[in-house]
Every structure is written in C-alpha cells, then in structure tokens.
Amino acid sequence: MSGRSILKRIDWLSVFIYFALVFIGWINIYSSTFTDEHSSIFDFSTLYGKQLFFIGVSLVTIVVVLALEVNFYERFSSLLYLLSMVSLLGLFVFGKTIAGATSWYDLGFFNLQPSELAKVATALALAKYLSDIQTDIKRRKDQFYALLIILVPAILIIPQPDPGSALVFFAMIFVIFREGLPLYYLVIILSLILVFVTTLMFGTVWLIIGLALLIIILFATKRKTLKIPVIPLSLVSVAVILFSLSVNFVFNNVFEQRHRDRFGLWLRLEKDPKKLEQIRKSIGYNTYQSEKAIESGGFFGKGFLEGTRTKGDFVPEQHTDYIFSTVGEEWGFLGTATVIILFTVLFLRLISLAERQKNAFARMYGYGVISILLIHYFINIGMVIGILPTIGIPLPFFSYGGSGLLFFTILLFIFLRLDTNRLKESF
Amino acid sequence: MRKILLSLIIVVIAITFLGRLSYLQIFSFSAEQVLEDPAIKAIYDYPERGYIYDRNGHLLVGNDPAYDVMVIPREVQPLDTLEFCGLLGIDKEKFVEKLRRARVYSPRLPSVLVPQLSKQDYAKLQEKMRKYKGFYIQKRSLRYYDTPSAANVLGYISEVNEGDLAVNKYYVQGELKGRTGVERYYEDLLRGRKGVQYIQKDRFNRDIGPYKNGTIDTLPEQGKQISITIDKALQEYGELLMNGKRGGIVAIEPATGEILSMISGPTYDPALLVGRERSKNYTKLYNDTIANPTWDRSIHAQQPPGSPFKTLNALIALQEGVLDVNTTIQCYHGFYVGKKKRGCHCGGGLRSLNKGISQSCNAYFAGAFRKIYEKFETTDEGMDVWEKHMKSFGLGDYLGYDLPFGQKGRIPNKEYYDKWYGDNRWSSSYIISNAIGQGEILATPVQLANMTAAIANRGHYFTPHILKKIEGKDITEPKFTEAKHTTIDPKHFEPVVQGMADVYVSGTARWLQIPGIEVAGKTGTAENFTKIDGVRTQLTDHSVFVAFAPVDNPKIAIAVYIENGYFGSRYAGHIATLMIEKYLKGEITLKTLEKRMLEKTLEAEYAKPYSGEEFKINERVW
C-alpha cells in the first residue's frame, strides 16, 4: 500500500484528537515547569523543552509505525511480547532506580521504561492469541492462557514496585470480555468490589442486614412460575459474609496504616477533623492540593501561566501524574470539560473503529488499546479530582515523560495503521 | 450487550468526572479565595498611626521607633556567639533556646529573636549586623506617650484577637487595634489604611515575584493626626491632686461641651502598656481588683450624686411653679417623714431657695420635692413630669460622648417603684431621698459635670465630647455642635445660680474662695454602704462637688467625686476649686489647699473595710 492511500484512509478524527491532547498537554507541562527565567522552549535542559523533544521523536515514530507493513505487527507480536517480558526481567539486574521504583533502563540520553513497551506488546500478543483460529474463549483452558498473557507482565511489574502500572494490564480483561468471556466473571469482580467498599463504609453488620433485605424482597416479589434456587443463594450469601469478614481482617491486620489512611481518605471514613487534617498533610497532601488547585480555577480558570498554586509548586508531581490539576487551575471548568470530552470522543471513536474491523486481530488489538488508554485516563483523573485513591499512573498524551508519550503514541498509531487496512479480512 | 458495555462505561466515567469537576469548580468555587490561597501572600505596608494632641496643640501620643532583632534560622551561618550575645544583651543559653524555638516555628520564616531593643543597643548593634548572616533588624513603631497621665482617656492598643478577626475582616493576625478610650473610638482615623502587596509564593513559602505584576496592590493611607479636647496641663494637675484617692473628675467647657479633663483615680502611666514589660504590667493592673486602676471611674462609677442634685430639684420646682424664690420652708434641724425624723446639717430655721442651696438644707428640698408631687392628682403623673425634667439634663441614660464605654446612671421612674412597692402603693414620701440626691438616683461623674454645664449655660448643654480637630480642622459633627435644651425655662436658672454662687460666699464652701474669680458650686455628701461578710455596713460618706466659673460667662464646669472623702467641701471641694484656679489662672494661689491635697491620701480610709476589724466612719481629718 502506498503512503498516499494510508493518508487517505487514516482516521483523521482520532489523529486530530491525538494532536490536540498532546498540544494541550505540552502547554500545561510548560506552565507547570516554567520559571520566570525565560528560556527558549527548545532549551532541552528544561522539562518542557525535553517534552518537546519527545513530541518530535513521537512524530518520527508515527511515520515509522505507519510506514511498516500491516502484517508486521501480527507476525511479530509473539516475539515482541517475549522481548518485552525479557526486558522486564532484565530490570531485576540492570534496572535504574528512580524515586524508589526500579522501572527504568538508563540509555544515557534517556531512561527507558520497559513496562510501557510491555503494554503495547501485551495488547498485540493478546489480540494475536484470541484471534487465533484454534482459540475458543469459551474453553476454560483458553481463558486461562488469555489471562496468563495479561498476568505475566503484571506480576513482573508489581515488585519494581509499580502496582499502578500492573493494574493497567488487568484492564485488558475487557478485550477477553468483548470476545466472549462469560459475563459472570465481571459480575463476580464487581460484586467483590462492592462488598469490599460497603464493608469498609458501613461494616459487616449492615452488609448482612442489606443482604437479608435483598433476599426478603426477592421472595416477596417472586412470581409463581419462578423457582428460587435456595441452595446456591445461601451459598452465595455465606460467601459474601465470609468475604466481608475477611475484608475486615485484612484491612485491620494485613494492611499497613498508610494503606488504611488511603482508603480512609478515599471513602471519607475518617470523621475526626483533627485526624483528617493530619491525613491531609501527610498522605492526602497531593490529592488535597490538587483538588484545591482545580477548585481555585473556577469556571474560567486563572489563565495561562497565571495558576498561583501551579507556580508555587503546591501540587507535587504536577507535570507528571497531576498534570490535570494545572488544566483545572489555569483553564477552569472550560478546560477540564474540554479535555474530558476530547478523551470521551476519542474512546467512542476508537470503539467504533474497532467494531468496523473485518479482521479479528485488528478488532481485538483495538480493544486492547482502548482498555489501556481508558484505565490510565480513569485512574489518573479520578485520583487528581479526588474520587479515587492515589495510584500513580500517568495521563496518556498529557503527562510529562518520554517513554510514556512514545509508547502511547505507538500503541494508538499501530491501531490506526491496522485500521487503514480494515476492509481486508487478512493481511 | 457486550459491544455497548464499554461505551456505556466510558460515558458513565465522563459524566462522573464532569459532575465532580462542576462540583469543585462551579459550586465550591468562591472568588474570595485569593486570601486563602497559600500561594499568594499579602505583605502589608503599615502607615504610621496618627498622633494625638491636646486642645492647645501639645503632643500627648506619638510614635517611637523600636527595633526587633529577627532571625531566619536556615540562613544563619556559624558565628561568634559570645560577641553577638554581648551586643544583644542576653546570655548564651537564652540565645540558643530562642534560636531553637525559631527553628521549630519555621526554618525559612523570620522570627523575633530579641524584641524592642533600646536605641543605645540598636546603635551598637547596627554597625556589626552585617557580620551575622541570617539576622536582621526590623524597625517597628510603638506608641510613645508625652504625658504620664490620661491613660483612661487615651486608651491603649493591643494585638487583635480571634473575636476581632471574626467581626472585622480588615484585620489580620498580629495587627494592633485600639482597645479602650480614644485609641478605640477613633481607631479608623488613627490607624489609616494599610497598603497591600500581593506576593506569589512557592510551597516553601519563598517569594517568587509579585502576583499579577502588582496590579491589585494598594498604597497605604496615612493615619490622621487628631487633637482632643483635653487640656494636658489641667489633666496632669488633676491626676496629681488625685494622689491616694479614688474617684473621678470631669471638667467640661460649657460653651462647647468639650471635655477639658477626665480623670479617674487611681490611674496608671499609659507608657506601662507599651513595650517589653507590657503584659507583665497589664496583668498587674488588671489583677488589682480592689483599687481597680483600669476601671475609668469618670465614666463608669455610678454613685448617688448627693446634694448637687438639689439644684435640679429646685429648678423643677420653679419650672412647675410650685414655689417661687421667696417661698420659705421650716427646717427643724431635719424634717419628718410620717413620724420618722430625717436629719439636716444646715443649722435649721426658715429656709428660702437661696439659703436652701447655699446651706444645703435637706428639709427645704424635701418640702420642695413634696410640692412637686402635690401639684398632680396622682403620684404617677408627678413622677412622669419629674423624670422628664431630670432626663433632659442627660441623666439616667447614655450621654452619647465619643468614648467607647459608659454607664447610664439611674433616674428611677414609676415602673421602677411599682416593681418595688406595687402599683399605687407608694407616694412621694417613699421616695423623698431623691430630693437630696440619695435614694435610688445614680449618676456618673461625667453626667454630673454635664448637668453642671447645663446650669452654667442656663438651660442647655452640648453633648460632652473628646475629639476637637482632625488634621487641624475643627469637627463639625452636629451631634456635638448643636445645643440640647433642657425642659427648664432659662429664667429659672438665675436664682439657682445665685444660690450656688453663695455656696462660695457664705455657704458650705466659703473657705474655698478663689481670689478674683467668682465661682458657683454645690457640695454633696453621699451616704454609701458596702457588704462586709454579708453584713450591710455603712462607710464614710463620699465627697461630691460640682462647680462652674466664672459665674457670668462660664469657662469651666466641673464635677468631682471622691469616694469616702466625707464632706463635699473637703476633698471634692478642694480639688474642684484648685482645678478651676489652675484652668482659669494657669497658676495656683491657694497654696494651703494645694499642699493639703497633694499630701493627704485616703488610703487608710480604703483599707478599713478590708481590715477585718471594727472601724469608725466619718472621722475628722483636718
């Protein structure tokens, strides 16, 4: 296929949103790392200058990604996956430690984060495995293998320690769901989360009362024709209560105080204002400052480079994980809503792109891309605006960081490249 | 279902995010956050507090520079501690401890290391200061008093507290505010308006430049210079005379209502409440609950006025036409209420208005008081008329002067007695003590002075006030410049004034005459009681005196109230007379009186109720 037809067929809406996000992201990195000593935006000793350099690198990479043959990605996905797992393993020996996490290779001019590569590789490998003619996702064995592809990198990443990045891989379960993993897996996961949260918030006693009420309602409203499965129901109830009790046990005995504090802050468990103030000053500091910064932006924001809290460096890690708070302070609700809408449109667009693929590999890879981007976006912004506990993962295309930007770009553009070939069932 | 699940999740997430963001940025947002924003620090530029001058342009209160030695702990370099401590005048242990505390407070923010250096210490230290990195001298402004007197009038300033901050948004922690007296009442004038400079800070609280390039900064507005109506010399002299006595003196210029002096005894040097020793001194003064030096008796002490009150009853009787100048009333060395005899010191015989006043005849005024009530069918009506006349002299209610505190005093009305005796169960006989200023009547010294000024003016007064000029311009506030008329016809005043003049010529104060000045006055001796171990015990009478001079075209009206001073002509009469001479002549010719007042104290009298022993009252002292 010629370069011209690629340009003709590529999904320009996605490309446009990508560039919009990268541009807005860089503007805010500039603002949050800017100091009054004026220097050129191409000054690579500054963080915004470095980020600009990586944007340039990403543009070159886009050209390369689009230029490669479509079937290259499917063919080499297994090898890539293997390579990336090796690179993760290699960290245990050659890794460079930054801020307590051994997640980088020092390449001299730049620190490479192999977990970013692993995200691309895993999405490709999972798509490849699921699209294989011999794979039947209804089979337990195949479900297990699919889960294994996700779990291996996650398990390798957790001890870095970088639990946030590990979490990202679990999001790829969505791909398996899309391809037919029974929905009761999802129901079970969601129920466990629900029981976990309600136990912490209201206690086991209320959970049992709620459960009893639910069963009573079930019996009261049952139709004559419907037979209630009594035995499974009682088994589930017992399991729920046991899980709830074990949550209490784990929370109080296994979790460390900082974990308890995090959940306490998230679920607003701590009612004592003095302790709350204490938590705010320690582990809740980031979230508190970032919420305050966003709040102080109001509807219209304070204006570009006018964010007082941003300038004062009140929000830690503001150019990386907390970049969204800069948007909130300087561009106000108008800015934050714009970013949310851009991401939402991008995701919905990518879903429709994935759904229009004739080729199963392309579709599944598409879902992988969406899952990865979505989980980053959800956890990051949820954390910054204070509705999720603190989990340090970057906002795609936005946060400062070379590896991140580069591999998110590769992740997205491989899919857009596959999409240019959407009419063909196989490559 | 599977296909739309993810889309659904994406939309739900978007709605959740937008909801949370609109909660934060639209509903929680408030525009006043600039001041709460930790990234913006307001730096204030304080204008100098206004000076206070007396009525003749003599300085009363100014400002004095004070020098605080400040430290920023993290900028401190190793130094010659011994030499530095020597320069500061503190020992090494204290220095180390102070430095440690400053570090605990904040390593990056300045703390006071040594407050308020003397000028001498400052001069020595200043040259060598640059040797000590991390230390610097901060100039501050303290109140400086050019008089040891008038503490009660001038008031003092102190740091704002939580309550002030909640009430008035202007102030921030650490600022000073007038607490009492002129400093409080004219706080806004004296203070001026501070300038504000907004500084952008980083999270370590370091300056990183002006906020919004200084476009919302403001310049300070200077505090106003004011002149008050107090005569510095008279005030100082009066406080000298008050040595060892408790009570109040208020002198007013009748033609304007300007307060010439306002003295409370015992008092304190206003300079005690400034500087390093401030809090120690304050506690000491505040804890003296017996002598109560911080309690301004001139405006707070509500006491029975005693005989000076007779002049008002005379005026009311004349106004109501129940007697004329020639009406006489028999004094039997007292008078009868039913079968009970009440005493009188006047000497007895037939008393007219003139003699009634000049000899202070109780029987005459009891008779006059009865006549007022007999004019009306019911006691209630009589009471209403009497109350109306009394209140027109500024008694029984706040006067409206420009000081922050005060007391109403008391002119009892019919409701008051109905409560005591029951409706229609009382008559003028029950309340006959009011005729001679005892009974249920209470007045403060400033009210008595104002009453005297109204008599001096023959029927009107100007609300007493303390502010004379703002930045050299006379005040024009109608409240103080418009006359208030009493309900008594001016023509009735002459005979009463004549009676008061005769007090000095042939009456109860005939020993107090001032050569060359015709004075009108009225003595008063007020019975008073206290409780000792729950037993109502009578103490030595209060000495009361009101006077004005000269009789024609009066320049000064004065009320003196000396607690437990016995006869009105003694302490109160002496002091009033000396004050008048001092004010009108500028010097004292009555040396004997002056010597007596400067030497005699009432400390022994005040100690009696606390002695725990039996004691005599109303003893002869000279």
DSSP B105-170: H-SSS-EEEEEEE-HHHHHHHHHHGGGSTTEEEEEEEEEEES-S--HHHH--EEE--HHHHHH-TT
Whether residue A168 is found in the same domain as residue A196 = no
pLDDT recorded at residue B86: 85
Please report the DSSP string for A77-141 in residue order.
HHHHHHHHHHHHHHHHHH-EEETTEEEEEE-SSSEE-HHHHHHHHHHHHHHHHHHSTT--TTSHH
φ/ψ region of B274 (left if φ > 0, alpha if ψ in -120 to 50, else beta) reads beta
B1, B18, B24, B200, best to mutate vs chain A, most A CBs in 10 Å: B24
pLDDT tens string B157-167: 988 888 888 88
Of the candidates A404, A353, A417, the one whose C-alpha atom is nearest the C-alpha of residue A377 is A404
Which of A127, A147, A149 is closest to A139 using CA atoms? A147
User: How far is it, in rounded angstroms, from Cα B481 to Cα B476?
Assistant: 7
Q: Which residues contact A142 (CB under 8 A, 6 or more apart)?
A: A135, A136
What's the confidence (pLDDT) of residue B137? Answer: 83
The answer to whether residues A175 and A320 belong to one domain is yes
Contact A337 B6 (CB under 8 A): no
**Exposed e or buried b per residue across B99-119, where buried means at least 16 C-beta atoms within 10 angstroms of its C-beta:** beebeeeeeeebbebbebbee
Same domain, A261 and A327: no
Instruction: Answer whether residue B215 shows pLDDT above 80.
Output: no
What is the distance in angstroms between the Cα of A348 and the nearest Cα belonging to chain B? 6
- Give yes or no for a contact between B191 and B43, defined as CB atoms under 8 angstroms apart: no
Name the residue in chain A with its Cα closest to that of B24: A295
What pLDDT sits at residue A85? 95
Q: Do A299 and B26 touch (CB under 8 A)?
A: yes
Q: Do residues A402 and A390 lie in contact, with contact meaning Cβ atoms separated by under 8 Å?
A: no
d(CA B486, CA B392): 5
Query: According to the model, what pLDDT value does residue B561 have?
Result: 96
Strands (E), B333-448: 334-337, 340-343, 349-351
Residue-averaged pLDDT of chain B: 89
Taking CA–CA distances from B19, the nearest residue in chain A reads A337
Tell me, yes or no, whether A146 and A229 share the same domain: no
Are the CB atoms for B235 and B206 separated by under 8 Å? no
- Establish if A310 belongs to a structural domain: yes
Strands B473-474 and B467-470: antiparallel
CA–CA separation, B183 and B189 (whole Å): 9
CB-CB: which of B6, B17, B211 is closest to A370?
B6
Residues of A with CB under 8 A from a CB of B: 36, 174, 177-178, 180, 183, 291, 294-299, 306, 308-309, 311-314, 328, 332-333, 336-337, 340-341, 343-344, 347-348, 351, 355, 367, 370, 374, 377-378, 381-382, 385-387
Predicted local confidence at residue A38, as pLDDT: 62
Alpha-carbon distance of B361 to B350, in angstroms, equals 10
Residue A308: which of B13, B31, B211 has the nearest Cβ?
B211
- Kindly state the tokens that stand for B21: 């963001």
| Lowest pLDDT segment from A47-51, B112-116, B398-402, B505-509 | B112-116
DSSP state of A385: T
Q: Is residue A424 part of a domain?
A: no
Q: What is the domain count for chain A?
A: 2
Predicted local distance difference test score (pLDDT) of residue A36: 61
Lowest mean pLDDT across A280-284, B253-257, B424-428, B584-588: A280-284
- Determine, yes or no, domain membership for A222: yes
Q: Label residue B204 by pLDDT band (50, 70, 90).
A: low
User: Which residues of chain B neighbour A296 with C-beta distances below 8 Å?
Assistant: 29, 33, 37
Same domain? A65 vs A83: yes
pLDDT for B44 equals 79
> Where a domain ends, among A257, A281, A305?
A281
* Averaged pLDDT, B245-268: 95
Tell whether omega for the bond before A161 is within 30 degrees of 0, i.e. cis: yes
State both tokens at B69.
Answer: 């030695």
* Interface touch A386/B5, C-beta < 8 Å: no
Per-residue pLDDT at B130 = 84
- In terms of pLDDT, which residue wins out, B483 or A261? B483
Cα–Cα distance, B56 to B266 (Å, whole number): 26
Same domain flag for A42 and A82: yes
List the pLDDT tens digit at each of the 427 positions of chain A. 556 778 888 999 999 999 999 999 999 999 888 776 666 777 777 888 899 999 999 999 999 999 998 889 999 999 999 999 999 999 988 888 887 788 888 887 778 889 999 999 999 999 999 998 888 888 889 989 999 999 999 999 988 888 788 889 988 988 888 888 887 888 888 888 888 888 888 888 888 888 888 888 888 877 666 677 778 888 888 888 888 888 888 777 777 776 777 777 777 766 677 777 777 777 778 888 888 889 888 898 888 887 777 777 778 888 888 999 999 999 999 999 999 999 999 999 999 999 999 889 999 999 999 999 999 999 999 999 988 888 888 999 999 988 899 999 999 999 999 999 877 655 5
ipTM over the 0.95 cut-off: no
Same domain, A193 and A160: no
Domain B232-268+296-611, what architecture?
3-Layer(aba) Sandwich (3.40)
CATH of B43-60+143-192, one of 3.30.70.120, 3.90.1310.10, 3.40.50.720, 1.10.10.10: 3.90.1310.10
pLDDT at B200 over 80: no
Quick one: A232 and A310 in the same domain?
no
Q: Is A36 among the domain residues? A: yes
Asked if the C-beta of B14 comes within 8 angstroms of chain A's C-beta atoms, the answer is yes
- The reply to whether A30 and A69 lie within a common domain is yes
Closest C-alpha among B11, B21, B2 to residue A343: B11
Residue of A nearest to B23 (CA): A295
Residue A241, classified by CB atoms within 10 Å of its CB into exposed (0-12), middle (13-18) or buried (19+), is middle
Q: How many angstroms separate the CA of residue B103 from the nearest CA in chain A?
A: 20
A160 occurs within a structural domain: yes
Residues A220, A273 within the same domain: yes
| N-term to C-term CA, chain A | 11
Average pLDDT over residues B461-482: 93
Indicate where chain B has its CATH 3.40.710.10 domain(s): 232-268+296-611
Start-to-end C-alpha separation, chain B: 114
**Could you tell me if A220 and A146 lie in one domain?**
no
Best A177, A344, A349 residue to mutate vs chain B (most B CBs within 10 Å): A344
Q: Are residues A276 and A305 in the same domain?
A: no
How close B603 comes to chain A (CA, Å)? 54
Establish whether the linkage from the previous residue to B73 is cis, with ω within 30° of 0: no
**Which domain range does residue A129 map to?**
3-180+285-419
**Distance in angstroms (rounded) separating the CA atoms of residues B266 and B260:** 19
Q: Where among A281, A308, A329 does a domain terminate?
A: A281
Q: Does B16 touch chain A (CB under 8 A)?
A: yes
Looking up tokens 């659904």 gives: B8
CA angle B555, B560, B561 (to 5 degrees): 160
Output the pLDDT for position B582: 95
* pLDDT of B98 above 90: no
Q: Any idea which of B132-136, B471-475, B504-508 has the lowest mean pLDDT?
A: B132-136
Task: Give the model's pLDDT for residue B203.
Answer: 63
Contact between A308 and B37 using a beta-carbon 8 Å cutoff: yes
With respect to residue A426, please indicate whether it lies within any of the assigned structural domains.
no
- A308 within a domain of the structure (yes/no): yes
Residue that terminates a domain, selected from A281, A296, A320: A281
Residue A40 domain flag: yes
Rounded distance between C-alpha atoms, residue A259 and residue B492, angstroms: 91
